[in-house]
Amino acid sequence: MIFKRLFYISLASFIFIGNAFTQNIIMEETSNGIDFKAAGQLLLTYQTAKAEVPAGVKPEFSKSGFIHPLASPSGQVLTRIQPPDHYHHYGIWGPWTKTTIEGREVDFWNLGDGKGRVDFEKVISKKTNSKFSELVVRQNHMDLLAPKGPQLALEEDLSIRVWNKEGERYLIDYSTTISTPLKSSVILEAYRYGGGIGFRATEKWDHTKSTILTSEGNDRKSADGTFAKWLIIQGESSAPSGQSGILFLSHPDNRSHPEPMRVWPEDSNEGKENVFLEFCPIRHESWEILPGKKYTLHYRMVVFDGNMTPEEAEEYWKSFSKK
């Protein structure tokens, strides 16, 4: 524990003090999506193809445009898609929920309602250098209720940058820029779900096998609806250390920063497989997306095996906040 508390990070070089080593990130395209790998190990996949749904499930629940799997440095899969309790949950993703478009209520989150959906459209750019690999994609938010048929309501440019793997930790920058091609505003109504960055965790975790802590000292019992700069979710895994997790960071330039959150309480989902959380910038206040303007949200994830202390989380956020 003393050794771990001596850990420091340099944003410029991401050098870890101690017995760490650097592994460069490469991208590989497959029929399902784009893989980010380090030394042949899959760290995450951005899914470009629509994921097939189980037999008997409404085809509307199939979608593309999400991150899954996301693995810890030792290969523990931390995300989940299409859980039977919420078929519209997709690993790491962030569609808007209660939305008003031309006077109509459109929902991009609850796919089964058939009101709206978000899918991958195209790759905008790829970049790999000695420090990171970065993918930028276009995701289309389609309004399925428009009088003349489905129409494009929001364009989202999503950037996923994976920094070189350093020992038992690696960093992901997740930046989303949204705009509307419509002539009228799109209103992202205040609601407890929507946008930002959402995370549905592995089915191995529940409130007895994982912990949550925010920058303001709130845990799973008290975090929902509060504001935070960062949030640590960590739980039991098959890593050599016995534990893995993710530190989620919200950038100070984000709307409503410190950012409001949705965190499932202990009794959610009947107390089973009940780890869901997100930074939700419209949790308490609606957001008007004006024609001709672009709006950006920046997040960072620190994916780790072992333990993350509040002191380390604060240092990560201080480095990220300077970007």
| DSSP secondary structure, 283-299, as one string | SSS-EEE-TT--EEEEE
92 belongs to a structural domain: yes
**pTM for this prediction:** 0.93
What does the pLDDT read at residue 323? 67
Taking 80 as the threshold, does the pLDDT of residue 252 lie above it? Answer: yes
Instruction: Please give the C-alpha separations between residue 91 and each of 51, 198, 277, 283, in angstroms, as whole numbers.
Output: 12, 8, 11, 20
Q: Give the total number of structural domains in the chain.
A: 1
85 belongs to a structural domain: yes
193 belongs to a structural domain: yes
C-beta of residue 89 within 8 angstroms of C-beta of residue 107? no
C-beta of residue 91 within 8 angstroms of C-beta of residue 68? yes
Distance in angstroms (rounded) separating the CA atoms of residues 73 and 38: 9
What does the pLDDT read at residue 3? 39
186 belongs to a structural domain: yes
3-state SS assignment for residue 6: coil
What does the pLDDT read at residue 20? 52
List the one residue out of 267, 268, 247 whose CA is nearest residue 319. Answer: 247
257 belongs to a structural domain: yes
**What are 194-217's pLDDT values in tens digits?**
999 999 999 999 999 999 999 999
Domain span holding position 107: 26-321
CATH number at residue 284: 2.70.98
Taking 80 as the threshold, does the pLDDT of residue 23 lie above it? Answer: yes
5 belongs to a structural domain: no
**What are 162-191's pLDDT values in tens digits?**
999 999 999 999 999 999 999 999 999 999
Mean pLDDT to the nearest integer, 13-42: 81
